[in-house]
Structure 1
Amino acid sequence: MKTENCCTGCNRPDLPWAGRGTELPIAGCRFTLYPMSDKYIEIILGALEKTDTSAVWSETDALSTVYRGKLPYVADAVQALFLNAYRPGVHMALEGQFSKGCPGDVSGDTVLNREGEAPNAELVKDIHFPVHCKLALYPLGDAQYIDEIAKVWYMAQEEGLNPKTIHYATRIDGDVQDVFTYLTHVCERMENAPAVHHYVLHFTMNCNSPTEEN
C-alpha cells in the first residue's frame, strides 16, 4: 500500500482528516442505485437482500451504500447489486465511485480476511443486458496523470467497449458483464501504477434508457 500524499498539504494539522490514514489495502465503492419505477423500494431492497455481502463491509444510509474490503470482492458486490436489481424494460442508473489510497481513510470498517472466489460470481454470471457508462478517472499523486488516463482509454478500446471522449468523461457501451470487468481492470491498473498513490474512478451506468441515440 502506497502511503505518500496525493496532494500538497495533506498532512496539515488543521485539516479535518489530520492524523488519519491507513496502511491497509482497503478498496471501497460508494454508490447509489436509481430504478425509474414506482416499485423502486421493492427493487432496491430486493437487490440488497439478494446480494451476498459477506466478503465486504457494507453500510447503507439515506443517500447511498458503501462496500469496503479487497478490490475483487468490492467489485463483485457492486456488480451483483446492479444485476440483481435489473428488470427488463425498467430504466435504471447506478452512480458510484471506486477509491483506494485516500490519506483521509481509516483502518476500520472493512473485511480483509476473505480468500477464494468472489461470492456472487457464479450467481450472476449468466445475467446479460446492454448498458451505457460514462467514467472519469483521477490518478492522484501522479504528475503524468494524463498518461494513465490515456492508457485506460486504450484499454477500453482493446476490450471492445468503443470508448468515446465526451466533455469531462469517457463513454463506453457494451454488455453489463464486460463493462464491470473493465471498471475492475481500471482499478487493478491503478493499484499497480507506481506513481499513483490514490485513485478515484467515478462512473455512471444505465440500462433501458428512453433517450434515443442519434
Structure 2
Amino acid sequence: MTEKPMNAVSNEAVDSCGCGCGREDLPWSGRGTDLPITGCRFSLYPMTDDFVSIILGALDKTDTSHVWCQSDALSTVYRGKREYVVDAVAALFANAWREGVHMALEGQISRGCPGDVSGDSVLSCEGEAPNASIVAAATQPALAKLSLYPLGVENYIDDIAKVWYRAEELGLNPTSIHYATRVEGSIRDIFAYFNDVCALMERTVSHYVLHFTINVNSPTDEEE
C-alpha cells in the first residue's frame, strides 16, 4: 500500500472554502458572503513627533456611524457599503492632514472574497455620506499609487485598462510605474477616483482588491 504524501489533497475533498482548491481544512472553510460588503483595512503614517495625537484625533473626528470599524495596534478596518467606506477613509485622511506634515495612508479595499464573513458590517444606512462635507473640502494636493487585482476573471487586463482610462477622464495624470499606477490630484479627487474604480469592478468582477498608498507633503524633490 502506497501512503499518500502529507501535502496531497483527496479528489473527494469538498470545496467548502469556495476558492477552488478542494480543501476543507483551511481557516476560512465554509465562509463567504453574498452581501454587498466592502472592506478597507488601512494604516496611517504621520512623519512627525506628534503622530499619536494626529492618528487618534483623526479617528475621533471621523464619523463612522455608517460603517463597522475596528482598530488594533497595526491598522484600522471599515466595513459596510462601498460609498460609506470610502467616505470614512477619505475623511480620516482629510482630518489627519496638517500643513507641512509629510503623511501617508496605505490601505486595501476588497469586495467579494470567498473567505469573507456576513457579519461585522453596517448595511442598513441610506442617504448622503456622513463625512461628505469634510471630503468635499479636502482640496489639498496629494499623490497616490494603486495596484488593482480583479480576481477570478481571465481578461483581467481589460478591467485594469478601464480604471486607467477613468483616471485620464478625471484629469489625474495617470502614469505607469513599476508594479503600480501613479495618479495626482487633491485628496478629494483621488478618493472619488478610488470609489469609481470600485464601482467599475462591481459591474464585472465578483472579487477584487485595490491596494493603494496616498501621500501628502512629501519632501522628495522630483525632477521635472
Amino acid at match of 1:76: D
- Separation in structure 1 between the aligned mates of residue 104 and residue 52 of structure 2, nearest angstrom: 14
Q: CA deviation at 1:8?
A: 3.3
2:99 is aligned, of 68, 71, 88, to 88
- Separation in structure 1 between the aligned mates of residue 145 and residue 168 of structure 2, nearest angstrom: 14
Structure 1 stretches lacking a partner, 5+ long: none
CA RMSD of aligned residues (A): 1.2
- 2:207 corresponds to 1:198: yes
Q: % of aligned pairs identical?
A: 66
- Separation in structure 1 between the aligned mates of residue 136 and residue 166 of structure 2, nearest angstrom: 22
Structure 2 stretches lacking a partner, 5+ long: 1-16
Higher Rg: 2
CA contact (8 A) 1:6 1:141 kept: no
1:109 is aligned, of 107, 120, 123, to 120
For residues 154-182 of structure 1, the C-alpha deviation after alignment (integer angstroms, 9 at most, x for no partner) is 11111100001111000001111111100
Q: SS at 2:108's partner residue?
A: strand
CA contact (8 A) 1:6 1:198 kept: no
Q: CA deviation at 1:6?
A: 8.0
Higher relative contact order (CA closer than 8 Å, sequence separation 6+): 1
- Separation in structure 1 between the aligned mates of residue 137 and residue 18 of structure 2, nearest angstrom: 39
- Separation in structure 1 between the aligned mates of residue 88 and residue 28 of structure 2, nearest angstrom: 28
CA contact (8 A) 1:34 1:92 kept: yes
- 2:201 corresponds to 1:176: no
Q: CA deviation at 1:197?
A: 1.6
Q: CA deviation at 1:126?
A: 1.6
5 Å matches for 1:158-173? 158-173=169-184
- 2:87 corresponds to 1:79: no
TM value normalised by structure 1: 0.94
Q: CA deviation at 1:106?
A: 0.4
- Separation in structure 1 between the aligned mates of residue 156 and residue 67 of structure 2, nearest angstrom: 29
User: Which aligned runs of 4 or more in structure 1 are off by greater than 4 angstroms?
Assistant: none
TM value normalised by structure 2: 0.90
- Separation in structure 2 between the aligned mates of residue 126 and residue 56 of structure 1, nearest angstrom: 21
